[in-house]
Amino acid sequence: MMPLLERLQGVVDILDDSNMELESPRSGESGYIPSPPQMLAEAVVGLLAHADISKVSLDLGCGNGGWMLLAAAAGFASHGVEINPFLVSHLQRNYERAIAAGLIDPATPCSWTIGDMIPVRLSAQYGEFRRLHKAQERTMPIAAVREDSYARLPVDPSTADIVYCWAWPTQSRFVFNMLQDCAKGDALFVLPSYEEYAASTDKAEENALHLARLCGMGKVYVGRRA
């Protein structure tokens, strides 16, 4: 395989194309707001200082595959859940391009599913979030949230070694609280824009391990669950 930085750059190029296409009027104003791929690539490099590639990454709301595909290119087993099927069609194509270009080793486990990132067993606990879901029903394929997405993946938020999430702003605090509740003890979180939420908990000190400044979008936050 080609060197890591070349592989990451190749995936960044694929994601830049895909993001540009999603922004174009032809995509019918998808409203998709991806993290800058270059920033994610830097976060992957930073993550390698804290986690070896035997670790399993889970991307909550993986969109067109930004974090997932870069983590897979670095060699992490990489899985994702995304509620929007249109974005998943982009993810599928981006993955195929990355495989064809030799940027991701086909032997690296990489899978995703269309559905809700909130495990069914936690949904009663998060009634407010469900209410928001209903309010957003018109823009979400709500049928996708009827069954547990994790029944179709080899990992869930309580078993993942690495959890990436950049959810919609209305869900940020909810997601952070959920991860504090259910992630496994030594899980690593990669949470762009979550610094203020991390700092608002009493775990802020232990979690305060910052890797990279983001381009106008806050910071990539990597924290280990206390």
Given the rule CB under 6 A, which residues bind ligand SAM?
33-35, 61-63, 66-67, 81-84, 87, 116-118, 166-168, 171
CB 140 within 8 A of CB 102: no
Q: Which is nearer to ligand SAM, 75 or 157 (CB)?
A: 157
* Least distance to ligand SAM, CB of residue 20, Å: 14
For residue 89, count other CB atoms closer than 10 A to its CB: 12
* Least distance to ligand SAM, CB of residue 81, Å: 5
Q: Which is nearer to ligand SAM, 35 or 78 (CB)?
A: 35
Q: Which is nearer to ligand SAM, 29 or 206 (CB)?
A: 29
> What are the start-end ranges of the H helices in the chain?
4-23, 37-47, 66-74, 85-100, 120-123, 127-135, 172-182, 195-199, 204-207
* Least distance to ligand SAM, CB of residue 115, Å: 7
- Give the whole-angstrom CA distance, residue 185 versus residue 12: 31
* Least distance to ligand SAM, CB of residue 138, Å: 14
DSSP state for residue 83 in the 8-state scheme: S
- How many whole angstroms from its chain centre is CA 54? 18
Q: Which is nearer to ligand SAM, 67 or 102 (CB)?
A: 67
C-alpha dihedral sign at 200, 124, 114, 72: positive
Q: Which is nearer to ligand SAM, 41 or 87 (CB)?
A: 87
- Give the whole-angstrom CA distance, residue 81 versus residue 116: 7
Tokens of 24: 């174009």
CB 114 within 8 A of CB 83: yes
* Least distance to ligand SAM, CB of residue 221, Å: 13
Q: Which is nearer to ligand SAM, 63 or 75 (CB)?
A: 63
* Least distance to ligand SAM, CB of residue 104, Å: 17
- Give the whole-angstrom CA distance, residue 109 versus residue 223: 24
